[in-house]
Structure formats: C-alpha cells, structure tokens
Amino acid sequence: MNSRPVARDIARRPSLISVSEPLIGDNVLPLVRECLNTGWLSDGRFVQEFEHKWSSYCSTQYGVAVSNGTAALEVAVAALRLEPGSEVIIPSWTIISCAIAVLKAGCIPILVDCDPETWCMSLDEVESKISPRTRAVMPVHMFGHPVDMRRLNMLAKTYGLFVIEDAAEAHGAEVVGRRVGGLGDLGCFSFYANKIVTTGEGGMVLTNNGEFADRLRSLRNLGFRSDRRFFHTEIGHNYRLTNLQAAIGVAQIERVDSHIEKKRWIAACYRERLKRLSQVVLPVEREWAKNVYWMYGLVLHDDVPFDAAEFAHRLRERGVDTRPFFLGMHEQPVFRSRGLFERETYPVSERLARRGFYIPSGLTLTELQIDRVCEAIIQELN
Ligand SMILES: Cc1ncc(COP(=O)(O)O)c(C=O)c1O
C-alpha cells in the first residue's frame, strides 16, 4: 500500500517547526564577497584568521582548521602517534566519529557508560577501564554540557594519558569559568550547520603543543612538510577548510556570545514550561558547569507507555520535528560484525537511545514556536 501523504493531508498538518536552523548574520556578506572578488576561494587569509580567533576564544595557542569535526578527531588521534593496538577510552553514547577516529589510527576504542543526568561519560567508569595499554581518553561534552575536566585531567595525569576533548556540541561551554576545547592536550570542534558556530561543513583542532600543531597542519594537507615542498614522509589527508568557509566562520565568531545566550534562553523557556511534567527528564547544569544547551534533549520516564520513536512520530503529527538520541557504539552492527564490544552492555546509553530525543532548539526559534512545542508535548503526555 502506498503510504505517502496526499496533498490534502499535508495541507491539514500544522507547519513543521524544525529542530535546528542556522543563524547567518549579514556580517558574513562582505567577507564572502571579498573571497569571491579576490579569487581566494580555497586558501586565503580567512583560514588563519578563523584559526586565530577560535583558538583565542578558547584560550589556546594554536588552531588548525579542517574540513569537518570527524576529520578533526581523526587528525587529533593521529597526531599523538600512538602505537597500533593502544587503547583509547571513549563514551559508548556518542557519534560514531569518535570510534572511527580511534580505529583509523590503528587503536582500540574502549567504551564507558554515561552519567544519567549530564549524559557525559562516567568518570568512575573511566578509571575502572584504564589498562596498561591505555594511552588516551576522549571526553565528549554532550549536548552542550561539559565533562568535569578537573577530575578527568587529574585521572589522566595520574595514569599518564593524553586527553582529546570532543567539543563539537559545546562551543563556549565552561568548566569553572574555563572554556572547553582548551582543557586537554587537543580539543576538537565541528562547525556543521547545526552547530553554535557554523561554516556549513568545517572543523578545528586546538592545542597548546607546537609539535602537535605542525603535525596537524601536515596531516590535513596530504602530508606536506614545511621544510621541503612535494616531499612526503607519511600518508596525509585532504582535510582542508576553504577560505570561503573560514570567512563564514570569522563572521560567526563575532556573534558567538549572542548565539550562546539564545541557546540558554531557549533552554530556560523550555525548563519553565516543562518542569512540572513528571514524565520527562530535562537537561541539567552542574554548579561548576556552563551548559550551552546545544540541543534541548528530553528523556521519557519508564512509566510512559511508548518509546522516543513513537513520541517523535506523535509530535511530528502535531507539527514538531525532533531527532532521536545516539545509539551506543556497542549496539552498532558495523562494530558488532567486526567482533568489537561483544557482550558489553551500557544500561544508561541503552536507555538514552530508546527514551531520549531532542526538540527544536535552533537559533531562529521564537517564543511562539517554543509555546507550540511545549503545548504539543504536554498534550501528548497528558
Ligand atoms: C560529539 C560530536 N563529535 C563529532 C561530530 C562530527 O562532526 P562532523 O559532522 O562535522 O564531522 C559530531 C557531529 O555532529 C558530534 O556531535
């Protein structure tokens, strides 16, 4: 049977409130126009300006712009020159990019579960998974809430581990007043269109280590060396960011504080309207943390008689778009079929994957739309 909606059905539905739309200010236009007028499309001054401005914003010495957040993680792990078979601890509940970066470096991802409230990796579990082969740990700042980097860095120091932050979802988030991305050995960002600062596609690695920075620049650019052109001593990638994208990034950084304020305003509006609902768990903000609420996630209580997928379907019928939460790495067929993570279970990740989803949180969202989203949620749950 053909289940495509007919035009009549579509017309009857309320217009869909999208989960995320970027906010591109008109300050981008002169910069992009400069690229077009001068012909500096690929390389150019905006790449360095973007690197400088973002690394300054996060208080690090070096920034190396790359083509996306996954590439940032890949070159960051590769920059460490870990021996094949080294173990890198990552959360199970995250984007697959984290595991891919570890595997591509010839290393083994070791999973930990996450905290049921912040949704970030459980630091108790990190310590229990450290083995003589562990060389690095990858904290992922989830949905805008930071990992407690004070405690993680102490663990890393005790056991001699490198720390690679994945701050793709947490631009401007803070741990006791210090911005994430500059709190480990390497900090990785994505600037995909749904991120707080966007370049359409884009990424960056931050570090205070000059050797890492040199190696990151070489890895993103086909393994080119600074001392001799067309002379290669290792396999690199083409992970370059274009000048056009960097121009957008420079303009976006000018607005980052207002983007973060808007995200926090959206979160405050949702909290105010949804806090009396006993059927959903709302995002938290630890007293030492600044949560930038990249996306506003909800987790259905066990007594709600349907799962997140069903709830998403019902909200869509009411004109509200949502996205499901990640499915844990230990539940991914691509890894299971390779014999990875066999018989491992992570109850919090599994619960989040089935009961969690995020609601419209884009930078163009209006209070009226927030009211409509909350009305739809409340009506469905009552
Ligand atoms: C936590 C996290 N890390 C890495 C990435 C990968 O970034 P990209 O899509 O730019 O490759 C994402 C993507 O959204 C992400 O959420």
DSSP string, 102-144: HHHTT-EEEEE-B-TTT-SBPHHHHHHH--TTEEEE--B-BTT
Reading the chain (382 residues) residue by residue, the pLDDT tens digits are 344 444 444 455 568 999 999 999 999 999 999 999 999 999 999 999 999 999 999 999 999 999 999 999 999 999 999 999 999 999 999 999 999 999 999 999 999 999 999 999 999 999 999 999 999 999 999 999 999 999 999 999 999 999 999 999 999 999 999 999 999 999 999 999 999 999 999 999 999 999 999 999 999 999 999 889 999 998 999 999 999 999 999 999 999 999 999 999 999 999 999 999 999 999 999 999 999 999 999 999 999 999 999 999 999 999 999 999 999 999 999 999 999 999 999 999 999 999 999 999 999 999 999 999 999 999 999 8
Give the distance (Å) from ligand 1 centre to CA of residue 95.
6
What are the residues facing 186 on neighbouring strands?
Answer: 164, 207
- Tell which residue, 299, 323, 325, has the closest CA to residue 381: 299
pLDDT of residue 2: 40
What is the SS3 assignment for 161?
Answer: coil
Beta carbons of 220 and 237 less than 8 angstroms apart: yes
What does each C-alpha distance from 20 to 102, 236, 314, 372 come to in angstroms?
Answer: 29, 34, 19, 15
Q: Per this entry, what is the length of the chain?
A: 382
Choose one of 73, 180, 189, 192 to mutate for the ligand 1 pocket test, by most ligand atoms within 8 angstroms of C-beta.
Answer: 192
pLDDT at 226: 87
Supply the residue whose CA is at minimum distance from atom 5 of ligand 1. 69
- 237: its two tokens: 């990638």
**Distance of CA 145 to CAs 163, 329, 369, Å?**
17, 20, 24
Instruction: Find the Cα–Cα–Cα–Cα dihedral 81, 84, 88, 92, rounded to 10°.
Output: 130
318 token code pair: 């009411």
Residue in 91, 87, 119 with CA at minimum distance from that of residue 105? 87
pLDDT on residue 12: 54
Identify the DSSP state of 186. E
Q: Which atom of ligand 1 is nearest to the CA of 195?
A: 14
Residue-level pLDDT at 340 = 97
The CA 209 to ligand 1 mean position distance, Å, reads: 23
- Ligand 1 neighbours by CB, cut-off 6 Å: 68-70, 94-95, 97, 140, 166, 168-169, 190, 192, 203
Q: What is the pLDDT of residue 14?
A: 65
Q: Where are the alpha helices (DSSP H) in 235-366?
A: 243-254, 256-274, 308-317, 333-336, 347-355
Ligand 1: nearest atom to the Cα of 194:
14
Q: How far is the CA of 190 from the centre of ligand 1 (A)?
A: 6
- C-alpha 10 to ligand 1 mean position (Å): 32
Q: Are 114 and 348 in contact (CB under 8 A)?
A: yes
Cβ neighbours for 250, distance < 8 A, ≥ 6 positions apart: 31, 46, 49, 50, 53
User: Residue 236 Cα, ligand 1 centroid: separation in angstroms?
Assistant: 21
For residue 104, give the nearest of 121, 84, 90 by alpha carbon.
84
| Ligand 1 pocket test, candidate residues 70, 98, 140, 191, most atoms within 8 A of CB | 70
CA of 86 to the centre of ligand 1 (A): 23
Residue type, 56: S
Point out the ligand 1 atom lying closest to the alpha carbon of residue 68.
10
Partners of 109 in the β-ladder: 88
User: Going by C-beta distance under 8 Å and a sequence separation of 6 or more, which residues neighbour residue 115?
Assistant: 121, 122, 348
**Using CA atoms, how far apart are residues 117 and 24, in angstroms rounded to an integer?**
32
Q: Give the pLDDT of residue 274.
A: 98
CA-derived radius of gyration, the chain: 21
